Homo-oligomer: A and B are copies of this chain.
Amino acid sequence: MDKKLKLDIYKKIVLSRRLEERIAELIKAGQVGGFMHPGVGQEALQVAAIATLRSDDYMLYAHRGVAYWVARGIPIQSVLCDLSGREGGTNRGKGGVMHVVSPELGVLGESGTLGGCFPIAAGAGMSIKVKHEDKVVLCFFGDGTSNRGTFHESLNFCAVRKLPVVFLCENNGWAVSVPTEQSTSVKDIADRRHGYGVPGKTFDGNDVEQVYDAVSEAVAHARAGNGPSLLEGKTYRLWGHWIGDPDTYRTREEVEKHWRRDPLPAYELKLMEEKVLTDAARAEIDKDARAQIDRAIAFMEKQPFMKGETALEDLYA
């Protein structure tokens, strides 16, 4: 990882974090609606993983936060318009923030039913293979989602057909109120790779370099035509499951402990130590992120709401 890449990842983590903070304020103030699952604490995993992709690769994000889109370069103003149901979003009021999309950037969209993503990822892999392309598909999913049957069917399908799909589990320890160990029969979800004879590993999902290395390796494996991998980054959901979650199901101590492992200050510190980042640059990046967000919100607020009757459009091609 060169300096430019590190800084780029850092900036995107900062922008994601600041954006979610603002979105939470907007939602709490009733200024936007939207069914938003915040990703605070998981941005390092999301941004560093996406940084391994080529611009023509495909990705399927999970329901957790904005960092996937920030990382891939979807304009944040479009995300805000999706959130608020205004013109200028990516899905014309249809899918809200659950279905942000960008065909140009290979962002295929999201399945609102958990586990719906796996077969879609397999299918994108299938089309890469049939067309003899050297693209890959990166498919994010949560620890809880790894218990859906589609996980099994798709892993097996991709393995036997050697499809270029990287399955990346964001293990944040919880599925809404249910701790992973209570719902999931293995400690490390990447161990499920033994059921499919595919490579993979478990790593610290809050450590940018570990993420980048592991995902790069899996992406290279896929791109070389060697088939799928199953990866798992251990991370933590620092906020509630959704904005407004009473979050009564876990102790404050547990959450506190994980705030001390927050990947944003951790990466900041690391980059400072490595002299990639200075105090001044840090302040600049933060300021710039906030300014971008201000502009995007200003843009959003000027956009008209999508017209009701457009509900009848976009169904059939």
Binding site for B on A (CB under 8 A): 147-153, 155-157, 159-160, 182-187, 191-192, 194-198
29 contacts between A and B (CB under 8 A): A147-B152, A147-B156, A148-B149, A148-B152, A149-B149, A149-B150, A149-B152, A149-B153, A151-B152, A152-B152, A152-B153, A155-B185, A156-B183, A156-B185, A159-B185, A160-B183, A160-B184, A160-B185, A185-B195, A185-B196, A186-B196, A187-B197, A191-B194, A191-B195, A192-B194, A192-B195, A194-B194, A194-B195, A195-B195
CA distance A160 to B184 in the complex (A): 6
**How far is A156 from B152 in the complex, measured between Cα atoms in Å?**
11
| List of B residues within 8 angstroms of A149 by Cβ | 148-153
Complexed CA–CA distance, A192 and B160 (Å): 15
Task: Name the B residues within 8 Å of A148 (CB-CB).
Answer: 149, 152-153
Contact partner of A147 (CB less than 8 A), chosen from B153, B183, B184, B187, is B153
Which residues of B are found within 8 Å of A187, using beta-carbon distances? Answer: 197
Taking A148-B149, A148-B153, A160-B184 as known contacts, 10 extra A-B pairs with beta carbons closer than 8 A to each other, sorted by chain A number, are A147-B152, A147-B153, A149-B151, A155-B185, A156-B185, A160-B182, A186-B197, A191-B195, A192-B194, A195-B195
